[in-house]
Chains A and B, each alone.
Chain A
Amino acid sequence: MPSGGRCPDCGSTELVEDSHYSQSQLVCSDCGCVVTEGILTTTFSDEGNLREVTYSRSTGENEQVSRSEQRGLRRVRDLCRVLQLPSTFEDTAVAYYQQAYRHSGIRAARLQKKEVLVGCCVLITCRQHNWPLTMGTICTLLYADLDVFSGTYMQIVKLLGLDVPSLCLTDLVKTYCGSFRLFQASASVPAKYVEDKEKMLSRTLQLVELADETWLVTGRHPLPVITAATFLAWQSLKPSDRLTCSLARFCKLANVDLPYPASSRLQELLAVLLRMAEQLAWLQVLKLDKRSVVKHIGDLLQHRHTLLRKAFREGTAEVEAQKELQEQGQGQGQGKEVGSSSLDLPEGKRPASPALLLPPCMLKPPKRVCPTPPVSTVTGDENISDSEIEQYLRTPQEVRDFQRAQAARQAATSGPNPP
């Protein structure tokens, strides 16, 4: 900052206040000559009031950065360290935060939003490096609401114009599976429940791939699918001992939170496996159900490609509807594929006709039939009759009644609670 004086050496007026450690100096920015110096030594009584100055604060590098931004950058670095991310991620995340901070909308945002912004920057960095970090994890770490997080995340991606790749499912499976505490016996985990990590991981990956191919993953949160797949993989590796264990108990043993949708994903996955089992000759005779099919998951996964091709056919809702019309003479629509396939199965001798490979939301019957709205011939300029408008107005008597009722309510609420 230029002050009034001139440099005695070169005569320029560009003098800058520069603090060198605890000594303030006036320095010429052209030749570097020190014009004036503050007091270097202090008296004993003065020293009592002094505090340590950290190096970073003494070098003046943060004078251009506001305190709030500094706090945010610190939080970004802390979060990266807590998550044990590589150091390059830290720099990228910090750069994103600084970039975001240049926008006035972010600078003026509430502290809660700035907190969440820290998480968003770290998440974007991880996604770009294919590091599987879920939003749920970040929200737990930041004690933030997922709604607030999602709003800020969408805003910042749009604001910075970033290309954020999707969450990598295979990596997520590996990290998430690895977090299950089932690979060593302990007080809570009996020996029969302990499993080899590699075997479980490979089987879980295959099951997640299967779920992805059969439309169980698209549009859904990835984590519950992985939980269900891990559970099935674990059960199938030693079914005799583990069939009795439920999904909830499994998650408790493994010290992992059970996400709410995991049980319905489990049912969907079992339904797919049952369909595939119907195509295997030696399994047809066994008349498998949801529990017994677990024992044969190994076989089913081994032949999953062929089984999928045989068990399911491509189709659309229209094809299914037409098929319905032909077979049953009804126009019910999509929900009947189970019925039609059981019709085709005489005494379990022939494999069931292929079911439709559709997402579960298309297989369920529609909750309510949406009638096509009648073609309206409204022009917008019709006459509006007085009677039609008057039906919406209160008569004077009604107005008086209403006012009286309101006054009574006021009296009632303010009466029992004296101010």
Chain B
Amino acid sequence: MRIMALPSQLCREDEVRLPHLLPPHPRVGPPRMEEEETYLQLYLNQCAAQDDFIPPGLPLLSPVVPEDVYISDSCNPETAFNSHLEEVKETSGDFSSVDLSFLPDELTQENKDQTVIRSKHEIEENCKTQSLQRRLPLSSQQDVGLGLHSSSSSESHAPLPPGGANSVHPSEKSNSLSLASITPMTPMTPLSECSGIVPQLQNIVSTANLACKLDLKKIALHAKNAEYNPKRFAAVIMRIREPRTTALIFSSGKMVCTGAKSEEQSRLAARKYARVVQKLGFPARFLDFKIQNMVGSCDVRFPIRLEGLVLTHQQFSSYEPELFPGLIYRMVKPRIVLLIFVSGKVVLTGAKERSEIYEAFENIYPILKGFKKA
């Protein structure tokens, strides 16, 4: 685990980052160095003590932490962690040169993305252990699935069931985390009853700025893959084969790129369009690339009673069979719109990041499972 590696890592960092670490003496020399040194000492002492055993709190400092994002947080391990953090923070306010990537504040995108790479076997294994542990204490609750998973999902749904659930968590966590400490450093699956289904990204819409005025007529004349009908639309529609995308290029130099299946492909495609425009003789640059929308889809593989769903989640859902066969679910956190169909296919749109799509699906899956039986 990373924590056990950290002390030695820090030692190496001593040599690399803080080569002129002065021995401690009262306020002479750069105070920053001194503060860092005392911080280091403190931290090393902690790590040395903890190297002997792994208390339930500490493993949270590893990439295992992203689970906190999925589980509602008011549990013991986090308070234990917070106390650690407090100690660390007291020593020095300036952490700019120290590697703090193990702290959960920064464990956002990177680790959420990493959850994609997990193996399905690992997921299912974890699913089974978690679902067993979770079901036992809360069997008294009417709709176990619904109540429990709404607790494990975002705050827009029912609040965490008090008392019983909290007491369960630490023991659960220690079980799961002991499992985690054995497995290699691939990121853990969220402790919520994971679906094992990963939404596939279908379309990415992004914009970029070429930062120069363009002559659309010239572009349409000299480029084979461009079409331009000024009467119909005031932009050139350009297409490339690899990655298979379409771009709308406006005379102001702004460009919209659609059709890519991943963020990197979208960026590569946008750069290729910029290069085409460059080769046509314009001083095009590639600025302000931004992903505006991401669309994903997946299949839960069981039919869904849409009429029931619209009754229980009235404030989020809109189901008008006279207009559209699917139910439109507007999730508040993350702000994603889901189209849910009777066949179990779900389309998720409105995301600016991949993690929002995954999070939204993990939030909706327990709700849909509640409607699984007719």
Binding site for B on A (CB under 8 A): 134-136, 146, 150, 153-154, 157, 163, 166-167, 213, 215, 217-222, 314, 316-318, 357-359, 361-362, 372-373, 376, 378-382, 384, 386, 388-394, 398-399, 402-403
Contact = CB atoms under 8 A, between A and B. Distances in A.
Given A220-B325, A393-B223, A361 B243 contact: no
Contact of B302 (A134, A316, A391, A394): A316
A218 B307 contact: yes
B224 A378 contact: no
A163 B310 CA distance: 11
16 contacts: A167-B321, A167-B322, A218-B306, A219-B306, A219-B325, A357-B374, A362-B303, A362-B343, A373-B200, A373-B261, A378-B264, A379-B264, A380-B267, A381-B268, A390-B279, A393-B280
Give the most central of B303, B318, B321, B342: most A CB within 10 Å.
Answer: B303
Q: A-B pairs with the 6 shortest C-beta distances? A: A380-B267, A380-B264, A219-B325, A219-B342, A316-B302, A378-B264
B303 A318 contact: no
B344 interface: yes
B323 interface: yes
Interface residues of B, number: 49
A254 to B, nearest CB: 22
B320 to A, nearest CB: 8
Interface in B252-282: 261-268, 271-272, 275-276, 279-280
A391 B225 CA distance: 9
Most buried by B among A136, A167, A386, A389: A389
Given A394-B221, A399-B222, 12 more contacts: A153-B320, A217-B321, A218-B303, A220-B325, A221-B322, A222-B322, A361-B343, A376-B265, A384-B271, A393-B224, A394-B222, A394-B223
Given A392-B223, A403-B221, A314 B374 contact: yes
Nearest to B328: A154
Contact of B342 (A222, A359, A380, A394): A359
B221 A219 contact: no
B315 interface: yes
A220 B303 contact: no
A213 B323 contact: no
Interface centre among A317, A359, A373, A378 (most CB of B within 10 A): A378
Interface of B: 200, 221-225, 240, 242-243, 261-268, 271-272, 275-276, 279-280, 301-303, 305-307, 310-311, 314-315, 318-326, 341-344, 372-374
A219 B222 contact: no
A163 B314 contact: yes
B279 A393 contact: yes
A388 B271 CA distance: 12
Contacts of B301: 316-318
A394 B279 CA distance: 11
Given A222-B321, A361-B342, A376 B280 contact: no
A163 B315 CA distance: 7
- Dominant secondary structure at the B interface: loop
A390 B318 CA distance: 49
B373 A314 contact: yes
A389 B238 CA distance: 13
A308 B268 CA distance: 55
A389 B279 contact: yes
A218 B305 contact: yes
Given A136-B322, A403-B221, A378 B342 contact: no
B264 A221 contact: no
Nearest to B326: A219
A163 B344 CA distance: 25
A303 B266 CA distance: 58
A358 B343 CA distance: 8
B272 A389 contact: yes
Contact of A219 (B279, B311, B341): B341
Contacts of A359: 303, 342-343
B321 A382 contact: no
Contacts of A163: 314-315
A55 to B, nearest CB: 41
Contacts of B342: 215, 218-219, 359, 361
B224 A358 contact: no
A362 B225 contact: no
Given A219-B342, A394-B224, A389 B276 contact: yes
Nearest to A213: B374
A417 to B, nearest CB: 18
Given A389-B275, A393-B280, A215 B268 contact: no
Nearest to A392: B225
A394 B218 CA distance: 11
A109 to B, nearest CB: 20
Contacts of B261: 373, 376
A399 B221 contact: yes
A378 B243 contact: yes
A382 B265 CA distance: 10
Nearest to B201: A373
A362 B302 CA distance: 9
Contacts of B280: 393
Nearest to B262: A376
